[in-house]
């Protein structure tokens, strides 16, 4: 009889310990407001920004300031606007698109791939001819390349906005055909700048903002605005975003004084509404 009682006591004790343990494992902590909480801190929102290659240096600097003020992590994807447009069309997870040309943004809007009422023109730029140190006395305008074997780099006109503007300017000046044997195509404006900086070509057509980040090249000529369409950078929230409010907040930040100061330092002009 004593053995039976002892066994029952052991079973009761074991069940009691199990109940306490199970309760501790399944019960959530409750804060003072009566809401369940966990010990893990919430991860910051991650925003993927697909931006034209010409914005690389400016946006990398802007990133630190934005992240220090917001509980948001910015992930930048830089490239030619045409390539970024294609990525979005193919389903890439992107929250905000900042293009160097209207053509790419128009194409996405026509396919309902951006949130139309978030679209706005954000920056302006100029088109310039740059040359490396060794050619700064020899080339003072685009006409100095005509009839020579000197190489001129431009972005691919079909996919790179700066290449589209360059072609427009050269056609307006009636020298596009005369320069066909001189042209070296580049995948984006950063590659044009690299070709010039390394002396692999005698000249390149880029944005004035790119001349700011140039270390070993100089502006030889600024193309008149009448030679090409206005260089305007539109921005918009991508329709597939899972972070609409945070994306809109980022676009608003681009018009703050801090952001304007950074972009101005890198050669961009804010597009006034």
pLDDT at position 148: 97
Question: What are the domain boundaries of the chain?
Answer: 45-124+232-270, 127-227
pLDDT at position 271: 86
Do 45-124+232-270 and 127-227 show the same overall fold? yes
Low-confidence ranges of the chain (pLDDT < 50): 1-5, 7-13, 15, 17-40
pLDDT at position 22: 44
Local structure of residue 135 (DSSP, 8 states): G
pLDDT at position 43: 80
pLDDT in tens, 162-188: 999 999 999 999 999 999 999 999 999
Query: Could you tell me which residues are beta bridge partners of residue 114?
Result: 238
pLDDT in tens, 15-63: 454 444 444 433 334 444 444 444 445 688 999 999 999 999 999 999 9
According to CATH, the superfamily of the domain at 127-227 is Periplasmic binding protein-like II (3.40.190.10)
CB neighbour list of residue 161: distance below 8 Å, 6 or more residues apart: 52, 80, 81, 82, 99, 100, 101, 103, 104, 155, 231
pLDDT at position 24: 42
261 to each of 51, 54, 122, 133, 253, how far by Cα in Å?
19, 17, 14, 29, 12
pLDDT at position 74: 97
Q: What is the pTM of this model?
A: 0.75
Reported as type and span, the H/E element at residue 197 is helix 189-197
pLDDT at position 41: 55
Hey, how many other C-beta atoms are within 10 angstroms of the C-beta on 25? 7
CATH number of this structure's domain 45-124+232-270 = 3.40.190.10
Query: Could you tell me which residues are beta bridge partners of residue 185?
Result: 154
Neighbouring C-alpha atoms within 13 Å toward the C-beta of 103? 18
Radius of gyration of the chain (CA): 29
Closest CA to 75 of 257, 260, 246: 246
């Amino acid at each position: 009889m004593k053995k039976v009682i002892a066994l029952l006591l052991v079973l009761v004790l074991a069940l009691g310990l199990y109940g306490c343990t199970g309760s501790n494992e399944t019960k959530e902590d409750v804060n003072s407001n009566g809401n369940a909480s966990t010990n893990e801190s919430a991860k910051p929102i991650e925003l993927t920004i697909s931006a034209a290659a010409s914005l690389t240096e400016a946006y990398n600097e802007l990133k630190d300031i934005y992240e220090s003020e917001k509980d948001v992590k910015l992930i930048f994807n830089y490239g030619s606007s045409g390539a970024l447009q294609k990525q979005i069309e193919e389903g890439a997870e992107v929250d905000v698109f900042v293009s160097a040309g209207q053509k790419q943004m128009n194409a996405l809007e026509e396919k309902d791939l951006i949130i139309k009422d978030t679209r706005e023109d954000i920056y302006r730029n100029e088109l310039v001819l740059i040359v490396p140190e060794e050619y700064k006395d020899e080339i003072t305008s685009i006409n100095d390349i005509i009839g020579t074997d000197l190489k001129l780099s431009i972005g691919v006109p079909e996919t790179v906005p700066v290449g589209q503007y360059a072609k427009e300017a050269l056609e307006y000046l009636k020298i596009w055909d005369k320069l066909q044997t001189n042209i070296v195509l580049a995948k984006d404006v950063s590659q044009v700048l690299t070709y010039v900086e390394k002396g692999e070509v005698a000249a390149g057509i880029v944005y004035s903002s790119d001349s700011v980040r140039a270390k070993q090249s100089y502006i030889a000529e600024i193309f008149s605005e009448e030679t090409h369409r206005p260089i305007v950078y539109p921005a918009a929230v991508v329709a597939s975003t899972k972070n609409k409010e945070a994306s809109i907040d980022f676009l608003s930040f681009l018009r703050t004084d801090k952001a304007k100061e950074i972009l101005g330092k890198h050669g961009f002009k804010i597009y006034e509404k």
